[in-house]
Chain A
Amino acid sequence: EAGVAQSPRYKIIEKRQSVAFWCNPISGHATLYWYQQILGQGPKLLIQFQNNGVVDDSQLPKDRFSAERLKGVDSTLKIQPAKLEDSAVYLCASSSTSGSPKTQYFGPGTRLLVL
């Protein structure tokens, strides 16, 4: 079974530029999560989708971050404009809707450096 796919793996941009990350979850997983992991810290949830609806985006900085999952499968996270403090690894995870509790499986992440 294929795992969670993310691209690109690395991105370097200047501050105030925009950037987008893509995630394709494990086939059949209805729930998709975007996390931000700053160096030396644990992952912090930015947004959670179930199918194409937002379940939780309480920690998403909505003035600059946006995310969508239009067809309930893959998802895009965008930052516009980027700030220096956005330098981090952006992890995507997915889980199925069956069973409780539900295991989240992580993708390899996108490492973002804002200069």
Chain B
Amino acid sequence: QQPVQSPQAVILREGEDAVINCSSSKALYSVHWYRQKHGEAPVFLMILLKGGEQKGHEKISASFNEKKQQSSLYLTASQLSYSGTYFCGTEVRAAGNKLTFGGGTRVLVKP
């Protein structure tokens, strides 16, 4: 079963913040975040391991709440380059590094 991402879409002004959530009904080993621009390949952002670890990439950070089986991606002081579709990919232990991707969150950052 694929993880559920919310919101499905968000429109921001440059400099604003946003949060994208990724929830799973299964116990997760890791959560992988990617950004995909139109017509391009998904680009790796970061991996979160269970344990509530927080990581960052530029001004984008993420956390993993093991109790809720939920990861959140934080876009801080958004830039025009942050526009794209963000996907979370979830990994269940003993699944052989198999990722199941959510439906994506479309982000549009306007000047």
A42, B96: Cβ atoms under 8 Å? no
Contacts known (A91-B42, A104-B32, A109-B41); A41 close to B47, Cβ less than 8 A: no
Docked Cα-Cα span, A105 to B44, in Å, equals 7
Residue of B nearest to A103 (CB): B44
B30, A101: Cβ atoms under 8 Å? yes
- Interface bin, chain B: 20 to 34
A45, B100: Cβ atoms under 8 Å? yes
Docked Cα-Cα span, A31 to B98, in Å, equals 11
Docked Cα-Cα span, A45 to B2, in Å, equals 11
Taking the closest CB of chain A, its distance from the CB of B91, in whole angstroms, is 6
Contacts of A103 in B (CB 8 A): 32, 44, 47
Interface residue B101 (Cβ < 8 Å from any Cβ of A):
yes
Taking the closest CB of chain B, its distance from the CB of A39, in whole angstroms, is 11
B residues near A (Cβ < 8 Å) are 2, 29-30, 32, 34, 40-44, 47, 49, 87, 89, 91, 96-104
Known: A4-B41, A101-B29. 6 other contacts (CB 8 A): A40-B104, A42-B2, A45-B99, A55-B96, A101-B47, A107-B41
Show 9 A/B contacts (Cβ-Cβ < 8 Å), sorted by A. A42-B87, A42-B102, A42-B103, A42-B104, A43-B87, A104-B44, A105-B44, A106-B42, A108-B40
